[in-house]
Structure 1
């Protein structure tokens, strides 16, 4: 940590750390990185006593409930518990991992001398039709010191919808949640197309299976590995079986050590319908994997460079996705070229570098808008 910056007592307030998902991984990664830089770091969860991602010894974790609750019924209790926690531990910086948590944080911290920051992991358009989310975003814009978003496109959306905001809107990319290898892995001839994420419709794994079905016969020895848990597991397995590719499509459980899967793959595929950032893209690049992706949402468009480290096709164009996969399957030299370019790009997202950008949010001389990361320019 810069010796001119004082160590602060920081609390990341989140729904849970007991789930395998991108926001949870990013929360644990940032908490560990801030602790490594000398800050006193707490993670306060609404539920789930046992994080699935490891926390550094210097990070304190506390959950208000053991399991998910109907939080509306416990609203007053949550507000009181959050206020007690903040006061007992002398929290100086409160980071809401979802702007929805402003509905708890604002009343819980009234009159307390701390800096409030909201961390948005979704695109602004993804309000999920919930009026409460729109209220919470407006509350954060009016009452918080900063709202951190993942791409410049979302920063513009916040500025447009909240022109009179008190908060500054700042673009800071998510940090890499895995340790980069010291040199780019060579990958040899693993013959594996990898995809990672929750097994839900937004992740588009059904579209990957459709694309794979059209080229599997032309790619002997290759397999598709989809790593994640979720409600669509059986439906995806059935889809692969019915399409005649059940023997080459594997659905593997989510794990905290996701790096093992990147190390054993040759291509990464992102078939998402919605993807506000796409931390998996950075993780794949950290392991020198070439990427094939749909141009879905701001995240992939910001993080990928078509023809340099990836092949990016129009959203929903399954034949184009299949052709891109076929092209990389048949060209080992191109896979290596893209992988090396991606590995170089991933260096910008090391956890320590991202934590340093966060520190600028609670110094006294923070500018109105921090510059965008290289990935979001």
Structure 2
């Protein structure tokens, strides 16, 4: 799809292999600048603040007041935080557990088995260890597996792992259920913005929307204070539904000048607004910078499901949300054009979406 990204600029090193080798000092390529290293927020602040937690089961209540209150809570979280957790979301807890365990097993396979799925930056699909193709760029302490689910015409199950044996079936079943959950949330987002219920879904392309999964593996790190599992960034797509590792916290969300550590709730999804919904909502909803910590005692596995516009969909602020007092903040751009920036440079805070803003 993107001819300029046919190969990685340097040999790929698997972070899990570095971790398993027993090194005590991480290579310089993984060491962040002092201002970018973790540990800049006190533990007391972290323990007192968490992103909103919303019970989606209340949307099914016979009480319309409770249904409206729940929808309002989602709207407030989108405007004020850009992040929230959902419980009673309708996705089987058993399916979630089986899915995560299957991917734990994948990353414990011999290196030669995982290497069969080694990816390239042309699509990022497969087993990877870096984001961005800038030569000499600082790297994050993580490996991952990325795959496409929607649109159906680009779904290629032959690129999905065959080991463990249930992996392909689980990916299909899990992705189907998370897409349903994403569709429910999109209707609420639209209504909360004063748009027709299906406006955002149709803007994403309807049945031609995009969806993909990135399974993140964060190995143990001998010097976790010097690096990050994933550098600060906002997600370039529409919405992310993250199934985190409940045993080890690591996700941090920017809140003003501080980084807030998210305390994951068992069987919950962490939902965050991506850049495309910020554009469509004309910044009524905002994507928020986040990053991932690593630690020396435990590895982590998380599953990030990206609910995106179709690649050729032209994304721009909804006409109903612009006017003399609220001019459009962003130019029209396809999602393919937008994500080329991220695929070239890797995580860059909010540099992309902020750079698009029209001068005031």
Relative to the length of structure 2, the TM-score reads: 0.25
Decide which structure has greater helix share.
Answer: 1
Larger radius of gyration: 1
Higher relative contact order (CA 8 A, sep 6+): 2
Relative to the length of structure 1, the TM-score reads: 0.24
